[in-house]
Each structure stands twice: as structure tokens, then as C-alpha cells.
Amino acid sequence: MIIGGSASQKLAANIAGELGDTLCSIETRKFPDGERYIRIKGKLEDEAVVIQSTGYPQDENLIELFFLLKNLKTLDVNDIKVVIPYFGYGRQDKRFRSGEAVSASIVLDLLQDSGASKIFTINLHENNITEFFDIPVHNLSAMPLIADYIKEILDDPVIIAPDKGALEHAEEIAGILRCEHDYLEKRRISPNEVETKPKNLDVDERQAVIIDDIISTGGTMINASKILKEHGASKIIVACVHPVLVGNSLLKIFATGVVDVVATNTLTSDVSVISVASLIADALRRY
Ligand code: R5P
């Protein structure tokens, strides 16, 4: 039985379709004062899969997820698998300044307390947050799906990480496509000057794909796109797993001369063209 929270209804329906499982509908609305009403419709079984991304509005999506889980538990559903395609609050994985809440770990504690028996998620921003879990967690990678998409639209691209932190993603995609990859390196060339450029490769006249896990404000991609253009890239495509896309970030990215922006549907957006339904369905079958 598959239950989709309001942030992931279509994806939940696609996953139910892939698995041949029942899609259980829910009723969710807000009372006039803003409080949330949740009702799970249909006949429940002993096992359920709840699918809910916890992107914007994060707090509402999280509360809805907790209501669904606790509700299932008290309705005697014993095995509850939770799929969080985009894991909101995943970036605060440590206390950077005294007194800060480690939000990633708090969310995980609450999920465990709510009765989740297993968690599935996709390209967590910080893999080390899996250490906070006491229950099994499957951190899936959507990079192979992005690689398949790129294969269909470009011949011999160069895969560029916008910074060293994203290099592992560029490596993964380039490994699948058997093409070159690199990352943009920031170098101080004088006390007042910093230069950012591809570390090893010449991108002149090359078709470049910039890959990152998340596009949020778009600042990272905008900067990377401008640098690749300055270095002569003939075509630039921007790709990510989680299109958070704050405000008009998408327009600002296109305005740098990027030909296309592609993302998965862990979050719904205008550029969510790559479906993670099969990736999640496969993981649910295996575990
Ligand atoms: C950072 O570590 C992440 O991998 C992304 O590069 C970052 O979240 C992107 O943020 P923005 O779009 O705001 O530059």
C-alpha cells in the first residue's frame, strides 16, 4: 500500500504503478486557523510505504509526514517504510556555532520516534547524516538516471562540478558515460585577486554539463556557467537532482546563456524532467 503525502502525490502514484501496489488516497486540508487535518482513506494493511518530500514549505510537509506516520502506527500498521525523495533540513548536519539546532539530526529523531521502520532517500546533501539513524537508511543516487538523460541529448560532453564538493557527482556521471570530468577550482592569484577555472581540462568548444546535488538560489550554477562561457564552452547544460529553485533562480540561470536546465522529480518544478519512480520502486522491491 502506497501513500503519497501532498508534496509527492504524483510520484507516489507512479511508484504504485511501477510496483503494481494499491495507491491509498489521503484527505489533507487546513482549518481556517491554519492547522492541518489529515485522514487516511481506504482499508489499511500491515505494511505501508509513505512517500513525502520535505521541501518548501518544509515545516508543513514535515508535520504532514509526522501526522501520517503516527496515524498509521495507531491504526495498527506495523511496518512503515518512509520515502523522502528530497530530505529538507539535510544541510545542517552539525553545530557550526554554539547553541545551533542540528536540524538534520532532530528531523531524523522525530522520524524514528514516529514509527518509521526504514527510510529511503535520494542524494542526501551530507551522507554522514545517515550516522544519526538507528533504523536502516537507503541513500539512493539519481546520478545514473541523469547520466542516461545526458546520453540521449549530448555526444562526448564534459561533466563539470561547480566546486570540489560536487566532484563525486561529476565522477559518477562521467564514469557511466565514459567521458571527461573536472571541477571548478578557486585559486588566489594575488592578495586582491581570486581566479576560478576548470582545474585540469580545457573546455574551449566543448559541450559542458554542470552537475550538482541541489540548486537552491542558483548562485553556484550562475557562477559556474559564467566561468565556463568565459573559457569558451560551446553549449552549457545545468543538471541537478533536487530543484529547490528559490525565487527566480531558474530565470537567472538561463540568463547566463545556459541552453537547458534538467532535474529529477524529487521536487516538482518546471525542469523536473527525469523521474526517480523506477529508482525508488527498485529499492522498495529489494529492501
Ligand atoms: C552546496 O554544498 C550544494 O551542493 C549546492 O552547491 C548548493 O546548495 C547550491 O546552492 P545555491 O543554488 O544557493 O548556490
Give 243-268 pLDDT, tens digit per residue.
Answer: 999 999 999 999 999 999 999 999 99
Do residue 159 and residue 234 come from a single domain? yes
Best of 56, 216, 226 to mutate for ligand 1, by most ligand atoms within 8 A of CB? Answer: 216
Interior CA angle at 185 toward 181 and 190, to 5°? 155
Residue 66 has pLDDT above 90, yes or no: yes
What residues line ligand 1, using a CB cutoff of 6 Å? Answer: 165-166, 212-220
* CA-222 nearest atom, ligand 1: 14
Percent of the chain with pLDDT over 90: 90
Residues 16 and 136 in one domain: yes
127 and 244 fall within a common domain: no
Helix (H) / strand (E) containing 239: strand 235-243
Residue 93 sits in the same domain as residue 148: no
In a mutational test of the pocket of ligand 1, which residue from 163, 172, 213, 253 has the highest number of ligand atoms less than 8 Å from its CB?
Answer: 213
Burial class (CB in 10 A: 0-12, 13-18, 19+), 76: exposed
- For residue 175, being part of any structural domain is answered with yes
112 shares a domain with 191: no
Range of the domain at 13: 2-141+276-286
| Cα 205 to Cα 208: distance, rounded to the nearest angstrom | 9
Look at residue 101 and tell me if it is in a domain. Answer: yes
* Residues 72, 168 share a domain: no
**Rounded Cα gap, residues 122 and 130, in angstroms:** 12
The pLDDT, as a whole number, for residue 273 is: 98
pLDDT of residue 188: 84
Q: In this structure, are 159 and 227 located in the same domain?
A: yes
- 220 CA distance to ligand 1 middle (Å): 6
252 is catalytic: no
Q: Which three cell numbers stand for residue 149?
A: 538523460
Sign, Cα dihedral of 38, 43, 47, 53 = negative
Q: Give the largest Cα separation in the chain, rounded.
A: 68
Residue 248 in domain: yes
Pocket test for ligand 1, best of 215, 221, 267, 269 (most atoms within 8 A of CB): 215
Domain count, the chain: 2
219 shares its domain with 91: no
- Residue 210 sits in the same domain as residue 133: no
pLDDT for 209: 98
In a domain, 221, yes or no: yes
Q: Does the pLDDT at position 202 exceed 90?
A: yes
Q: Does residue 220 carry a pLDDT above 80?
A: yes
- Residue 195 is predicted with a pLDDT of 86
What is residue 284's predicted lDDT score, i.e. its pLDDT? 98
pLDDT, position 134: 85
On whether both 21 and 121 belong to a single domain, the answer is yes
Instruction: Single out the catalytic residue among 30, 41, 186, 199.
Output: 186
Instruction: Tell me the average pLDDT across 218-223.
Output: 96
| 89 C-alpha to ligand 1 centroid (Å) | 13
Task: Tell me the angle at which helices 103-113 and 58-74 cross, rounded to the nearest 10 degrees.
Answer: 20
CATH number (domain holding residue 117): 3.40.50.2020
* Average pLDDT of span 62-91: 96
Q: What is the pLDDT of residues 143-198, one digit of tens each?
A: 999 999 999 999 999 999 999 999 999 999 999 999 999 999 988 888 888 889 99
Confirm whether 270 is domain-assigned: no
Q: 271 lies in a domain?
A: no
Q: What is the mean pLDDT of residues 91-115?
A: 92
* Cβ neighbours around 212 below 10 Å, total: 23
Which residues have CB under 8 Å from 263's CB, separation 6+? 215, 239, 240, 241, 242, 243, 269, 271, 272, 273, 274
In this prediction, residues 269-286 reach a mean pLDDT of 98
CA 53 centroid distance within chain: 9
What residues does 118 pair with on adjacent strands?
81
Structure-block grid coordinates of residue 41: 482513506
Is it the case that residue 132 has pLDDT exceeding 80?
no
Which residue, by CA, sits nearest to atom 8 of ligand 1? Answer: 214
Radius of gyration (C-alpha) of the chain in whole angstroms: 20
Residue entry with cell 533504523: 135
For residues 199 and 257, state if they share a domain: yes
**What is the reported pLDDT for 18?**
97
CA of 98 to the centre of ligand 1 (A): 23
Q: What's the whole-number mean pLDDT along residues 28-45?
A: 94
Q: Are residues 151 and 80 part of one domain?
A: no
Ligand 1 atom showing the smallest separation from residue 244 Cα: 12
